[in-house]
Amino acid sequence: MQPNLGSYSDVPDFIYGITREIWEDRGIGGKLDRYYAPQILLRAPTGLTTSNAGVTAQTLATLHQFPDRQLVGQDVIWADGGDGSFLSSHRLISVMRHTGDGSYGPATGRVVRSHIIADCWVLDTVVTEEWLVRDQAAFARCLGIDPAALARQMVAQDIASLGKVEFFLPEHDRPGRYRPEIQGGAEVDKVVAGYRRLWQAKETAAVRELYFHGASLAGPGGDTAYGHADIDRFYLGYLAAFPDAVLSIDSAILNRGGDQPPRVALRWSLRGRHSGFGHFGPPSGADVFIMGMSHFYLIDGLVRQEFMLTDEVSIWKQIIAHQESRAGG
């Protein structure tokens, strides 16, 4: 059974098109009513949203702060569900100017560029479940703010408005209808095995077996690592901070053909204790959940390009919330 795409020609055209209808064309509430389920499950490091109304409110709040926001689609990797549904993994870059006060502080007038990956499960042209990771550390740096300082600012805002610090943990989730899939294929097997060696076994020798020697890894905070030594350094910053982290591979999609090399979209997560010096400063003892998304481009069995997203501001929020709870704050 082929997916229902309405007036759109294929899945990438549908995903790029409805994104444009909602944001650039300012459809907002009307288009979200059309394309998002009333009880959508939207999971992001910032928290769980369980209604279309909540998505609309978040969209309006973002546009107030960044009214000229453009979402530049870079790739859509997707899988046919076989029942009229599909899962898409949409990588895009948000380009916008900060001209309104809000959760990112007083308007600065600065231009912000930040990567996003959104996995959407779509049934009969309606987004029913979504997983969304935005590079808020890149947001912060473009605004001239340290990501940890932005997290501390957001912690204060959360406590003032909600009485608690908001972030996503698996125990906050609600069961959905979508059943994740790890697709078969040599490229998926290569990526999954490499990630398990790196994140689970903490075996950074896998960098040289997973990545081409001239590979690039565009990572959180708007940073890009180039080559084995630089990529190794990136991984060590995370592994040292969370040495007992447990990896979960939650979804893997493989697309081959067309005018592009084989591409893999991976949704994954880490859970562990912030017990070491590393990318996130002195150990705090905080239990941390990290939602991750990655797109890989492979040639001759090796990763040539990876686009990896985690929300480091939300990681910092978890660390700061733990520190303040221990201090009685």
pLDDT bucket at 303, cuts 50 / 70 / 90: very high
CB atoms < 10 A from the CB of 10, how many? Answer: 11
Q: In CATH, what is the architecture of 186-327? A: Roll (3.10)
Average confidence score pLDDT of the chain? 95
Examine the pLDDT at 149 and tell me if it is beyond 90: yes
Write out pLDDT tens, residues 176-198: 999 999 999 999 999 999 999 99
The arithmetic mean of pLDDT across residues 51-63, rounded, is 91
The predicted structure's pLDDT at residue 1: 65
Mean pLDDT of 61-67: 93
11-172 and 186-327 share one fold? yes
- Given a cut of 80, whether residue 2 has pLDDT beyond it is no
Q: Which CATH number fits domain 11-172: 3.40.50.720, 1.10.260.40, 3.10.450.50, 3.90.1180.10?
A: 3.10.450.50
Domain ranges of the chain: 11-172, 186-327
Using CA atoms, how far apart are residues 228 and 200, in angstroms rounded to an integer?
19
Res. 158: pLDDT tops 70: yes
Q: How confident is the model at residue 328 (pLDDT cuts 50, 70, 90)?
A: low
The pLDDT tens digits for 91-130 are 999 999 999 999 888 999 999 999 999 999 999 999 999 9
Task: Kindly tell me if the per-residue pLDDT of 89 is higher than 90.
Answer: yes
How does DSSP assign 33-101, residue by residue? HHHEEEEEEEEETTEEE-SHHHHHHHHHHHHHH-TT-EEEEEEEEEEE-SSSEEEEEEEEEEEEE--S-
The predicted structure's pLDDT at residue 23: 86
- Which pTM does this prediction carry? 0.96
Where does the pLDDT of residue 174 fall: very low under 50, low under 70, confident under 90, or very high at 90 and above? very high
